[in-house]
Amino acid sequence: MPACFKSIVIIFLFALPAMSWAQTNNMDRAKPGLKLVITDALQSNMVVQQNKPFKVWGYAIAGKTVTIKADWLPNPITTIADNNGRFLGLINVPSIKKGDYTKHQITISSGDEQALLNNLLIGDVWFCSGQSNMQFAMRELDNGDKKIDSVNNPNIRLLLAKFSWHAAPTDTFPGKWAEANPKSARDFSAIGYYFADEIQRRLDIPIGVIYSGIGGSVTQAYVAEDVMAADPILKAKYLDPFYKTDVYIQKKTDAFTFGTTSQPYLIYNGMIHPFLNLSIKGFLWYQGESNREQRDEYVKLNYTLINSWRKGFAQDNLPFYYVQVAPHAYQKLDTTLNDYAFFRKAQEKISKLANTAMVTTMDVGDRDNIHPKNKKPVALRLAYTALNQTYHQLDVVYRGPHIDYVSYAKHKATVYFEPGTTEGGLTTNNGKAPKYFFVAGDDQVFHYADAVIDGNTIVLTCKAVKHPVAVRYAFTNYPVTNLQNVAGIPAVPFRTDNWKEPNPMATSGK
């Protein structure tokens, strides 16, 4: 059963009336004599992405002129609705200065009809998606009500897109932009909110955050059907099996079933496609638990997702920052199991794609809870990544210790880390020795190693392995770690061997 099943059902029941409206409204738009309708992605209270052309789109009477006036522009622009009643206009948006929280408005008119978008801010917009750990709401945090009550920042704007899926791409979705306050933050992504809070505080500009995803969802649910159909490997892995299901054959894909979040492309149609015309700053992604049994195909699938989203949003090489899944036992309390570690290693390969980066969560996992509640450190690490990589604040440390190479001696191994990832030195978050290092000899049997910090290296000793040839760090399913750099960013789990999965681990049981 997919993770966060309970959350899926609750959100589905809550969102049903809005989803029914969205589907009906989408059909109404094709009728002759349609009134002026602005797309759901554009609303009052939103943040308009600075320093990029801003698309204004929707529906009007076919052949009618649509006038778009932004209060920061000296003159309006006009466009004409096509034969299907669709219109799209492009307006320029300036860069803003630090501390500029001027409220703006955009007026769209056609004939005697007019729509007004007001209480707008110009700033940066980040698009968050993924499954339940990204969906994890502020109210679900420890002392969530107290933390929600402290939210009061009208310079942060939130959009929670409720669960929506469609057999074909749509431009409608249920959800409203709102200023960040206790009411709007209550059900909003904790990671999304804390990310926005840190970025807004550091940059002193308006920040908008969208969360559009759902618990229990698989990656292939967020990739367009035609994109996967064009790739023989993805088509055979994800589309062809779906095409053989009763749901597809009987054309019931628009009806909710307990497998909806595990089906390809439906969530893309309902929760990604509606935003493709929206100007944004970048993507934040936290997903993987529902694909954890995959390896190379998961990497390929994520490459495809990233490249297709970038192409669909048509804003060059948008940054894509994602979260590595946290330690968890999946009810198998066996310290030697490492299938989840192999999956995390596969996730790391995604960051080889340009303008992507991975955030590590090895120190904030929970072996017994697939939804660890300590979300703020994850959000801050995403924010540090954006501040360094996107906003070019190079003094912000965003990477944790990452292995460079290992030297070996009798009963001993020394781990060296990439320059720049141990800036300030190595430490642990509890003052104790680093945990979860293992060494193996030619027999490929791993044994727990004692670890000592020596400057910017880790020295490992193990009497059980006379001549070590391989090292693994935090390479089991649920090792909640303590090794980090002085900036508090945890070390990235690793293995130096290329031995096939599965492989016995931690024979000492520590």
Q: Measured between alpha carbons, how far is residue 456 from residues 75, 166, 399, 484 in Å?
A: 59, 52, 15, 11
Give the residue among 318, 314, 486, 294 at the shortest CA–CA distance from 400: 486
Give the residue among 168, 296, 287, 270 at the shortest CA–CA distance from 226: 168
pLDDT at 462: 98
Give the residue among 228, 218, 250, 200 at the shortest CA–CA distance from 96: 200
- Tell me the pairing of strands 426-428 and 483-485: antiparallel
- The span from the CA of 268 to the CA of 285, in Å, is 14
Tokens of 500: 């096939």
**Residue 208 pLDDT grade (very low, low, confident, very high; cuts 50, 70, 90):** very high
Query: Count of CB atoms within 10 A of residue 248's CB?
Result: 16
Mean pLDDT for the stretch of residues 487-492: 98
Tokens of 420: 């720049």
Poorest-confidence range of 92-106, 167-181, 313-327, 495-509? 495-509
Domain edges within the chain = 403-495
The strand ranges marked E within 379-462 are 403-409, 412-417, 426-428, 437-440, 446-448, 450-454, 457-461
Q: Say if residues 437 and 362 touch (Cβ distance below 8 Å).
A: no
Give the residue among 481, 385, 479, 370 at the shortest CA–CA distance from 135: 370
pLDDT at 27: 35
pLDDT at 54: 98
Tokens of 486: 């002085």
First vs last Cα of the chain: how many Å apart? 31
**Residue 502 pLDDT grade (very low, low, confident, very high; cuts 50, 70, 90):** confident
Residue-wise pLDDT for 388-442, tens only, equals 999 999 999 999 999 999 999 999 999 999 999 998 899 999 999 999 999 999 9
String of DSSP letters for 105-171: EEEEEETTEEEEEEEEEEEEEEEEEESHHHH-BGGGSTTHHHHHHT--EEEEEEEEEPP---SS--S
Maximum Cα interatomic distance, the chain, rounded to a whole number of Å: 85
Res. 149: pLDDT tops 80 = yes
pLDDT at 14: 28
pLDDT at 258: 87
pLDDT at 382: 98
Task: Give this prediction's pTM.
Answer: 0.92
Q: How many residues does the chain have?
A: 510
- The span from the CA of 268 to the CA of 231, in Å, is 17
Q: Measured between alpha carbons, how far is residue 315 from residues 205, 219, 279, 284, 471 in Å?
A: 21, 22, 7, 16, 42
Q: In whole numbers, what is the pLDDT of the chain averaged over residues?
A: 92
Phi-psi group of 482: left, alpha or beta (phi > 0 → left; psi -120 to 50 → alpha; rest → beta): alpha
Residue-wise pLDDT for 446-466, tens only, equals 999 999 999 999 999 999 999
